[in-house]
Structure 1
Amino acid sequence: MNSWVELLSFSTFGAALLLSVIGLWFTVVIPGIDHWSRRFFMSYFIVFLLGCLSNIIEVIFQYYNVPRAVFIFLLLLESLLLSLPLLMLTAYLLHCCGENIRTSKLLHAVLVLWAVFAALLVSTLFIDDFMYITPDDQYFRGSLYWLPLVPIIVAMLLNFIGTMRRRTQLSRKVFLAFIIAILPITVTLIVHLFIDVFPLIDVSYVLSALAMYSFILSDQIEQDRRQQQKIVRQQQEIAHERASVMVLQMRPHFIYNTLMSIYSLCRLDPQKAQQITMDFTNYLRKNFNAVATESTIPFSTELEHTRAYLAVEQAQYEDMLIVDYDTPFTNFRLPSLTLQPIV
């Protein structure tokens, strides 16, 4: 290397290349992200990877007798590859907002700006005011070097405005992901209008992409967790409704038999009729409380409910029903109406 500036540029391109490989590896290996987002980030990091490789090859070729056409081709390839994420960000923003990509005015505007950039980029081959290349394959900025950058910066600003206008359609983390992906790159490009910071463009692209990926991944994992919690709550509600239906199905027959038994005992054995009325009242009270309970209850509470039910049944069937309680372990919880329907 001829100077510390060239060494710094080469190191910066190498760091960007390594970060691109890491981002691509994360996208392929780590689960938890939807198929569309996975394809987007894979394409995103592959574009960065190719851009970094072309940058490194172009720097290396400066020290060898490479045909001028190859060197110019690499310069054009670098610029085109670094502009592609602009379109990809716009498409991904529209996808996250559920908009039709093909009919979006935002995407059409960005496409027009990108086409203008591509046309200006091609014109640099013929107009030295944009950029000129020395016989030893060193390139220098011309007086109009800033002009091709303007449509790219305007397109990035359109993406920023589009993100701000759609912030209510995005979750907080996804919104921050797009802001992180857009702002650093835009600032770097604006600085590049006045100072040559081309190596930093690669790094800012890749770092922003990694940050964006981490936010999107975190958001989707959180959404999956909320979805799982919602499913669990729905399953609990279904189980509770089934228990309620079960109680309602058995209650009319049981209530009818109990009332008929009380009616008969009022004449034959008034004292026993009073006792069965008290047991029946106790059972109904506990039954209504159990139906209204959504959380788990102590086993002892469920056992008392079952005792009240069996007391009513024993009063009806007398010696025909013998109950033996063998419950040495009662220090645990269970859903309401778990034991009594079984009995």
Structure 2
Amino acid sequence: MQLISYLISYNFVSVALIIGIIVLLIENRKERPHGTEHIAVIVILLSIIVANAAIRELFLKKVYDADYDYRGDPAMYFMYFRTAVEHILFPMIAYIEILLITPNVKRYLLFIPEGIVIAAEIVNLFGPKIIFSYNSHLDYEDGIFFLAPYFAGMIYMLLLLRYSIRFFKSKDKTKGATVIFIVFLTILECYLEAAYIVVDLMDEIVALDVIVFYFYLISIYQREMEEKLRISQLELEKSRRVLTLSQIQPHFMYNSLTSIIYLCDKDTNKTKNALIDFSKYLRQNLDAMSRNGLVSIKEELEHTKIYLSLEKLRFDDDLNIEFDIRDEMFMLPVLSVQPMVENAVKHGINSSDSGCGTVRISTDETETHHRIIIKDDGAGFDTAELDSLDESHIGINNVRKRLRDECGGELIINSVPDEGTECVILIPKEKNDENSGN
């Protein structure tokens, strides 16, 4: 208990930082952002360093006797061992930081400086004192290769700087800046200790470096998760769109084929043209499932015209179609117009008391938007019912969502029972002009 109390009191900042890192690791144990294992290893090594330093200070304060001759005493072997551990672990942490930052580097090649330090420390423990030594009163003395651990650490710092430059060149500026900040803190601490401005701050600096980089890893993980979620949502929406587009209404196919069969005995050329239109309609619906991005309004109107030509086979003069196209230079999500026109025919004209009427399709532009208006003089409905419309009202919510997600567009529906319905599609000009290249 005395050791733990002294450890906390003497190295309070280091212990607090280490506890903070451990809390972060526990808090993010489920997410496990890339690099968590490296951080955990560094925390273990750092904890050993802090405990090692605390034991030394406790020994010097409670046990050490300046008049005692420690030659051959276990305390001297302990001092040699703890100093060797400290010399080995700091470059080891720098080595692990490189593996953390650039996991694809040649690990065995980069371990050479640390391997040399370990070999030299082993020689120093059991042979000639080439790095450091202690006199009979446990005073620390430098050996001929006393700078070896510092050179190893400096090599790793230079490598970290090199990789930070590579990150900047690859436009990963945040990672590059984080690595430079870590190197700057470490070099600054080395200078302050060399100039005898501060003493024994390396463990605090390393802990701070780890916290800074772990927060960076967490932020990267969160961005990756957000991107994966965004992609998943796009894939899900694409799947929903494919499902919606693949659900070609059986009643429409049945009615179209019935009308074509009826024409067979009456007008061969008209039957042939109807079959061609029906084939085009099916092909464009199938193509729409694999389309990415936006399509031109011209292409969308062409598909709508094919659909209407097939409906005219059934309605004949009961269905009147009017086009007023004043703006043809913009893009929009595939199958945005045709489903709304289909709703106008099916739920507007066909559901009206007379069973006949006019569908008018027009395009124009305002200062900020391209505009498409689909208007019918059919049955109309109470717009308060929009939230509870059944699946027979083809794709209103689907069209609205695709307009919003794919081009920032908007679908506005105005309707009056027994008077008709007006659907307005608004496509923002700014984003659309960028997509269309206008």
Normalising to structure 1: TM-score of the pair? Answer: 0.69
CA-to-aligned-CA distance 1:114-146 (integer Å, 9 cap, x gap): 122234444555667854435443435568643
CA contact (8 A) 2:88 2:117 kept: no
Q: 1:83 aligns with which of 88, 91, 95?
A: 91
Match of 1:68 in 2: 76
Runs of 5+ unmatched residues, structure 2: 1-6, 65-74, 266-313, 324-331, 357-378, 397-438
Distance (whole Å) between structure 1 residues aligned to residue 352 and residue 264 of structure 2: 14
Match of 1:114 in 2: 114
Among the aligned pairs, what percent are the same residue? 9
1:93 aligns to 2:136 (yes or no):
no
Distance (whole Å) between structure 1 residues aligned to residue 12 and residue 315 of structure 2: 92
Distance (whole Å) between structure 1 residues aligned to residue 149 and residue 315 of structure 2: 98
CA-to-aligned-CA distance 1:174-194 (integer Å, 9 cap, x gap): 444433333322343355455
Match of 2:335 in 1: 292
What is the CA-CA distance between 1:212 and the residue it aligns to? 0.3
SS at match of 1:25: helix
CA contact (8 A) 2:130 2:144 kept: yes
Residue type of the partner of 1:25? V
1:152 aligns to 2:207 (yes or no):
no
Match of 1:330 in 2: 385
Distance (whole Å) between structure 2 residues aligned to residue 301 and residue 279 of structure 1: 10
What is the CA-CA distance between 1:64 and the residue it aligns to? 3.4
SS at match of 1:278: strand
Q: 2:37 aligns with which of 36, 39, 64?
A: 39
Moved more, 132-141 or 307-316: 307-316
Distance (whole Å) between structure 1 residues aligned to residue 13 and residue 113 of structure 2: 30
1:57 aligns to 2:85 (yes or no):
no
CA contact (8 A) 2:113 2:152 kept: yes
Residue type of the partner of 1:340? I
Distance (whole Å) between structure 2 residues aligned to residue 42 and residue 22 of structure 1: 12
Distance (whole Å) between structure 1 residues aligned to residue 342 and residue 389 of structure 2: 8
Match of 2:414 in 1: none
Residue type of the partner of 1:278? N
Would the alpha carbon gap of residues 292 and 325 (structure 1) be closer, same or farther in structure 2, given more than 3 Å must change? closer
Match of 1:15 in 2: 13
**How many residues align structurally?**
303
Match of 2:271 in 1: none
Distance (whole Å) between structure 2 residues aligned to residue 76 and residue 290 of structure 1: 68
Distance (whole Å) between structure 2 residues aligned to residue 334 and residue 44 of structure 1: 59
What is the CA-CA distance between 1:273 and the residue it aligns to? 6.0
Would the alpha carbon gap of residues 53 and 338 (structure 1) be closer, same or farther in structure 2, given more than 3 Å must change? farther
Residue type of the partner of 1:329? A
Q: 1:339 aligns with which of 389, 393, 412?
A: 393
CA-to-aligned-CA distance 1:50-83 (integer Å, 9 cap, x gap): 1111111111111233622112211222222222
1:310 aligns to 2:350 (yes or no):
yes
Larger relative strand fraction: 2
Match of 1:278 in 2: 320
Distance (whole Å) between structure 1 residues aligned to residue 248 and residue 136 of structure 2: 92
Would the alpha carbon gap of residues 313 and 27 (structure 1) be closer, same or farther in structure 2, given more than 3 Å must change? farther
Moved more, 213-222 or 163-172: 163-172
What is the CA-CA distance between 1:253 and the residue it aligns to? 3.1
What is the CA-CA distance between 1:214 and the residue it aligns to? 0.4
